[in-house]
Amino acid sequence: MSSSNPQGAKGSITSLKTRPLERSVALTRLGVGAGAKIVAHSIANIFRGEVERNDANREFYRRQAEVLADELGQLKGSVMKAGQMLSLYGQYFLPEEAVSVLSSLQDDTPPVDWKVVRPVLERALGRKRLAELDIDEVPLAAASLGQVHRARRRADGLQLCVKIQYPGVADAIESDIRTLSRLLLMTRLTPKSLDLTPVFNEVREMLHREVDYESERHFTEVFAERLTHDPRFVVPRVIGEYCSDQVLTTTYEHGLNVRDAKVQALAQARRDRLGQAFLELFLTEFFDWGMVQSDPHFGNYRVRIGDDEASDRFVLLDFGATRVFGRGFIDGYAKIVRGAIGGDRQRLIDGATAIGLMKPGFPRSVLDGFAELCELIVEPFAHADDTRVPARLRTADGRYRWGESDLPMRASRVAALNALSVHFRVPPREIVFLHRRLAGVFIMLAALRSELAARPLLERALRRCEKSESP
């Protein structure tokens, strides 16, 4: 095994706070410190002019987020996963400076020292099996619940990725969620009026799924089988003899982050093809398979650049957050989508009622407000001549310019207005999971600056869905 030390700006973590009490104390101490800084900052603002006050506020939010991100990265586990979610969707309710800092949790978190994770590996596989591998002690990637080490099987040189779960993370989930919800209020990074209960309920369920490595192995194998003949995607192959409930070993598959300069420098046509593949994958997962990988942060997707446009591929990683949807929910959601893109509000409302988003007897104004939001969200799938789509978001031949779109912000404003209604309902859990991935699709296509005529893709998926509904 390699004996090199972890390199980079952030050193490795030599010990983990794995007991719920010590993790809670660490976060509470952070919150108390943040409270004192908030008081000092508020007093100082009294004596500042408006411009100076705005600058001070931005700097304050940036410092608060840096402290929070650093502590989450040190603790790992549930709190770090929640931080990732905040960075992904925080643009709708967090200060811009906080989003910028928290986004570092996606791919730039401190690894855990080899001496901490090696005992997990030895207990899971046994020393004899472990001796068959040459494992690099410097992790290839460090995430919230575990880290991945590159390895080589000595017998044949097969390149592997060994994913090791951090000790104690499964036992700390409930305590972490309770403590973090209090911490976010203490740091004032989220508005007091924002109810994060549905978000944390989602995180809790997702985390319990993600620490289930046997389930993740199953979904990895299922995705690999279903995509085996699609040249646009690569799914790692599971190597079963090196797996356990805390260790998952697959083949190593190389690729680049979508934000990498080499990916960003690809010609428009190549970025469009990648964006179309990513969108089609989501539509297939939901409408055809009823099985969606619901954790969309960029660490789970890599781009493998080929020799030409036809050989560029997405490498799909980490299926721990895969969510299965029932046919009834899919059919009801399909009605919402058909109604939204076809201007059929009654069909839209019928679908929303079927899956619990709306209730019979809601006032017309509430139903119309919900329909307006749905019709706005499907903007990228509108006909090329639809005048409701801002002209700047269309290419000369009618394709939607995802990288230029401010649709998430416009939709969030409409959603916020609807949320003020006394009839607003917390959406079903399935919606929360599905829309998290849907938001991830939008962010991915925006990052690729894709220009797509997306409506035909959606219509084909809906037609396939209709066939599956037929007896």
Residue 161: what are its φ and ψ, rounded to 5°?
A: -120, 125
Letter string b/e over residues 232-243, b meaning 16 or more CB atoms within 10 A of that residue's CB: bbbbbebbeebb
pLDDT at 185: 65
Cβ atoms 61, 45 nearer than 8 A: no
Q: Which residue has the higher pLDDT, 129 or 103?
A: 129
pLDDT at 8: 42
Fold of 114-165+212-249: Phosphorylase Kinase; domain 1 (3.30.200)
% the chain with pLDDT above 70: 69
Q: What is the pTM of this model?
A: 0.78
C-alpha atoms less than 13 angstroms from C-alpha of 260 in its C-beta half-sphere:
15
Domains of the chain, by residue range, sit at 20-108+175-189, 114-165+212-249, 257-471
- pLDDT, one tens digit per residue, over 385-436 is 898 999 999 999 999 999 999 998 888 777 767 655 656 555 666 777 788 8
Cβ atoms 324, 285 nearer than 8 A: no
Comparing 26-30, 187-191, 232-236, 240-244, which segment has the lowest mean pLDDT? 26-30
- pLDDT, one tens digit per residue, over 339-358 is 999 999 999 999 999 998 88
% the chain with pLDDT above 90: 49
Whether 330 has a pLDDT exceeding 90, the answer reads: yes
Strand 233-234 vs strand 313-316: parallel, antiparallel, or unpaired?
Answer: parallel
Q: How confident is the model at residue 60 (pLDDT cuts 50, 70, 90)?
A: low
pLDDT at 467: 77
Give Cβ neighbours of residue 359 (< 8 Å, ≥ 6 apart): 353, 423, 425
pLDDT at 427: 64
- pLDDT, one tens digit per residue, over 430-446 is 777 788 889 889 999 99
The distance from CA 147 to its chain's CA centroid, rounded to whole angstroms, is 17
Distances (CA, A) of 355 to 18, 285, 358, 365: 39, 19, 8, 20
Whether 163 has a pLDDT exceeding 90, the answer reads: yes
Whether 133 has a pLDDT exceeding 70, the answer reads: yes
User: How high is the mean pLDDT of the chain?
Assistant: 80
What span, in angstroms and rounded, lies between the C-alpha atoms of 260 and 391? 29
Position 68, amino acid: L
Whether 119 has a pLDDT exceeding 60, the answer reads: yes
What span, in angstroms and rounded, lies between the C-alpha atoms of 363 and 370? 11
Q: How confident is the model at residue 200 (pLDDT cuts 50, 70, 90)?
A: confident
Q: Which residue has the higher pLDDT, 260 or 38?
A: 260
pLDDT at 357: 84
